[in-house]
Amino acid sequence: MSGIPFPENNPAFRIGPVGFHFHPSSILHKKQLFSEYRRFLTKAHPDFWQIALEPAALEQPREVPVVEEKTGRFSVSSGRFHGEFSRKERRGRLRVRNTAAVTTFLRAFLSHVLTKERGFLLHGAGVRVNDGACLLAGVSGSGKSTLSRMAAPGDVLSDELVLAHRGDARWQAYGTPFYGDVRRNQPAGYPLRAVFLLEKAGEWSAERLSQSDAARGLLKCVLNFSAGREGYSSLLDNTADLTAAVPCLRLRFAKKRPHGKSLTATLDGLLRSEGLS
């Protein structure tokens, strides 16, 4: 947190290409946001989403977030939070039952905003491999945390949700503050070298997937709470673009690393054996 005054300033942080500048009405919320997102804190920028954060006694039973968009304004809500936002002004107001709800809100908010900005949040672990990163995509129980534990601590972008974004030139993978069992998240972004769809097996192997098989597998791992056609159309476009630009493979893996190699070396070796150095 060096260079970021606390607690005079409001917390500003960046998750991949999306910046947030929260304006909490309570000092408790402010402290908790600084603590929860400390690795992702950065200097505030005018392009960041400006979000007024207020406590609220919400009593709705719904747990799964819902996103609804109409003519440039959208709402993100669940039983624990309710927010309304203007896409054009990049600002809005979020009411939460407690600070923990901000994490759930951010997942829903990011998944919605990113689909229209050439990106998405994916159920997957992100691991640095040489100068890039590999995405290990899979739903709950597929082995994301198991594999993340095999990587060096500084090489894990997240063991639960990774942000993929198409920049000007290529797809990048970014760490997120969302984690499962392994809290080693790194905020950095790296060129996305490959996507592996996870499958538990007795031995390690990788097999290149056709674009349509990759798209089918990837769609199961995309986080999306919007119920509208437009959001899904963008999501299909992003999926088509990513699977055309980035090699996608099926990764069959065992619980133990082959010959004690690091996960990074193992993935790099599998990519090279497929001619993807």
Which one, 146 or 234, has the nearer CB to other proteins?
234
In angstroms, the Cα distances linking 262 to 83, 103, 147, 202, 273 are 43, 31, 10, 18, 17
When binding is defined by CB under 8 A, the residue of 51, 243, 248, 249 that contacts other proteins is 243
Rank residues 66 and 152 by Cβ distance to other proteins and give the closer one.
66
Residues 6+ apart with CB under 8 A from 109: 67, 76, 83, 85
| Helices and strands, counts by H and E, the chain | 6, 15
Task: Kindly state the smallest distance separating residue 43's Cβ from other proteins, in Å.
Answer: 38
Is 86 or 233 the residue whose CB approaches other proteins more closely? 233
Site for other proteins in 197-236 (CB under 8 A): 210-212, 215-216, 219, 224, 226-233, 235-236
CA 223 to centroid of chain Cα atoms = 9
List the structure tokens of 56: 């609220």
Q: Should residue 68 be labelled a site residue for other proteins when binding is judged by CB under 8 A? A: no
Nearer to other proteins, 58 or 236 (CB): 236
Which C-beta is closer to other proteins: that of 36 or that of 213? 213
**Cα 18 to Cα 109: distance, rounded to the nearest angstrom:** 10
The whole-angstrom separation of Cα 169 and Cα 8 is: 38
Kindly determine how many residues on this chain lie close enough to bind other proteins according to the rule CB under 8 A: 21
103 is a site residue for other proteins (CB under 8 A) = no
**What are the residues binding other proteins (CB under 8 A)?**
210-212, 215-216, 219, 224, 226-233, 235-237, 239-240, 243
